[in-house]
Chains A and B, each alone.
Chain A
Amino acid sequence: MAYERKFKIGKPILEVNNISLAFGGVKAITDTSFNVLEHEVRAIIGPNGAGKSSMLNCINGIYKPQQGTVSFRGQVVPNITPNIMAQMGLSRTFQNLALFKRMSVLDNILVGRKLHTKTNFLEVALQLPKVKKEEKLNRERSEEIISFLEIEDIKDTPVGKLPYGLQKKVELGRALATDSSIILLDEPMAGMNVEEKRDMCRFILKVNDELGTTMVLIEHDMGVVMDISDRVVVLDYGKVIGDGTPDEIMANQKVIDAYLGVEH
């Protein structure tokens, strides 16, 4: 890349070691390992049903793999739960949108500030000065994110009433609000038009560039993936069939076969 990165790509922040996951007799992921380096944009691609979302769910602790471990900053995380991963500094978005539908955009993003909220319910009920102070800080940070994502004019609208593209943006905003060091994005651009996709790419790169947030994304649009990611891992039938820079991936015969089909 031609430009100078503010945050140089560093050591592995996240390592997936020999993960196998099966639902009953169906193997979703088989003995898969790859790593994610700090400050990089890492894409996970693969045909439908390749186990990409299952992979993210394993990393995030929603699924419990039968085998294998996930390491965060060099340490194996025992008993992964979504909550523990959030506390370690990993946030995510979901494939089919998992927003708080009846809450406003601002409130959704404020929930992302949960781990920066230390006051308990009694203090909140009595609105002690420290609650007001904390709430003010959290609101300021959320407003910053809202203006960064250019969604100021919908901040008080209930999320359920927004079109799909905007909801995706709100979900990114909520993940950003956690100030996590790594964000997993599960198909952040699915169902978007070209213009919305371009916007989303811009936001992802901007976050990565300005905050140094490590990004792991699942995406189907090859053009987008090859454009924005530093490294790509390709899954097919739950196995890694390619891992490397976009150029290496595009030259990989196995990947080409998986995508275009191969004569037997």
Chain B
Amino acid sequence: MKPIFMTYTKKDLINLAVCMVLSVLIIPTFIKTEYWYTSILIPWLCLALATIGQQIVMGYTGQLALGAAGFMAAGAFAMFNLILRVPDLGFVGSLIVSGLIAAAFGILFGLPSLKVRGIYLMVATLASQFFIIWMIDKFGWFKNYDSSGIITAQDIVILGKPFTTPLAMYFVCLAVTTILTLLAMNMARGSTGRNWMAVRDMDIAAESMGVSLLRTKVQAFAISAFYCGVAGALFAFCYLKSLEPVAFDIKLSFKILFMCILGGLGTINGAFIGAAFILLFPVLLNAIGNNVFHGAIDATIISSIEQVIFGLLMIIFMIYEPLGMAKLWENLKQSIRSKLSSSGIKGIKSPVLKK
């Protein structure tokens, strides 16, 4: 399919239109309970954005990195300090600069990827996770010498208008996530993404074609950290509404890693699917616990079951469908399409090789 606008095909534009109608018109009209915005939609958008960051470095460039939450913390605390100390920047300006600060950390902690790979790189990138959190804890300046340990996030003000209701914050997250997702798609489908994937699939050959491993890997880490940083700032300001380093612990990094893998490595839509699954699955389990078993199962057991199922799913996906849920979704569409085409509907290309 030929792209119509930028790198987007007709199908992409239709999907985008459907998503926009759904998220801008239908959801705000029909969902009135705050719970949905504050506990589901806002964290979903923030975490999906962070997962796109993880996708760029892991799914596209093939660098096993673990420490997305560290970059999120960098972004969140950068945001807090920028709004506090450089109020002239405004919310959007601060958000971009926070992303850039996180990207600087990304470059720093991406450098080991030149020497180590695989599981060893994963251990090396864990340093970012612990270093950033330690730094924020250690130096009071980052928390504006607040002794309580939890700082309340400033209100979001864009062009003089406050965005404090859950719905308004949802729109802020939606706008930022949509723009950054579209930009990520452009990169992934353009020459930038090809360089990433070339490094992922066969680095020696990529280098022999003139792709610089240093530049490509460091660039991927920087862009990834930028996405995580922006996501972290939104996560703190729209979802948590407070800033504490503990919120960005290693568990969050793992969560983002799971979202990335379950969603499907090397896919952008997989980030959204994976994030939705990991967020909604516990909600679903709780609902089952409450409604089917009427609270007979203890909440702690339910959360243990949740961990067990995530673990199982990770193993199953790694073995049977490394491309994750995004691929399952594609397969489903493909099988529906081939059923339709066998019943005589034209215009559907067969995926079978001719030669």
A interface residues (Cβ-Cβ under 8 A, vs B): 60, 62, 81-83, 85-87, 91-92, 94, 98-103, 107, 110-115, 117, 119, 121, 124-127, 131, 134-135, 138, 153-154, 157, 161, 166, 174, 178
Contact = CB atoms under 8 A, between A and B. Distances in A.
23 contacts: A62-B208, A81-B207, A82-B204, A83-B207, A86-B207, A86-B209, A99-B205, A100-B197, A100-B200, A100-B205, A100-B206, A102-B201, A103-B197, A103-B198, A112-B209, A114-B195, A119-B191, A124-B190, A127-B186, A127-B190, A154-B354, A174-B209, A178-B210
Contacts of B191: 110, 113-114, 117, 119, 124, 131, 134-135, 138
A102 B197 contact: yes
Contacts of B353: 154, 157, 161
A82 B202 contact: no
Interface of B: 6-7, 183-184, 186-187, 190-192, 194-195, 197-198, 200-202, 204-213, 219, 223, 266, 353-355
B198 A100 contact: yes
Contacts of B7: 127
Nearest to B1: A156
B190 A135 contact: yes
Contacts of A115: 209-210
* CB-CB nearest 5 A-B residue pairs: A98-B205, A100-B201, A86-B210, A124-B190, A127-B6
Nearest to B354: A153
The SS class assigned to the B binding surface is helix
A153 B349 CA distance: 12
A227 B192 CA distance: 42
Given A111-B194, A121-B223, A124-B186, 8 more contacts: A86-B208, A91-B208, A94-B205, A98-B202, A107-B194, A115-B210, A121-B187, A131-B191
A248 B347 CA distance: 60
Contacts of A111: 194-195, 198, 206, 209, 211
Of A62, A82, A112, A157, which is in contact with the most chain B CB atoms at under 10 Å from its CB?
A: A82
Given A98-B202, A121-B187, A157-B353, A110 B208 contact: no
Contact of A153 (B6, B266, B355): B355
A161 to B, nearest CB: 8
B293 to A, nearest CB: 43
Contacts of B208: 60, 62, 82-83, 85-86, 91-92, 98
B183 A103 contact: no
Given A114-B191, A127-B190, A178-B209, A121 B198 contact: no
A40 to B, nearest CB: 22
A125 B187 contact: yes
B210 A114 contact: yes
B55 to A, nearest CB: 14
B99 to A, nearest CB: 13
B8 to A, nearest CB: 9
Contacts of B207: 81-83, 86
Contact of A107 (B192, B197, B212): B197
A134 B212 CA distance: 19
Contacts of B187: 121, 124-125
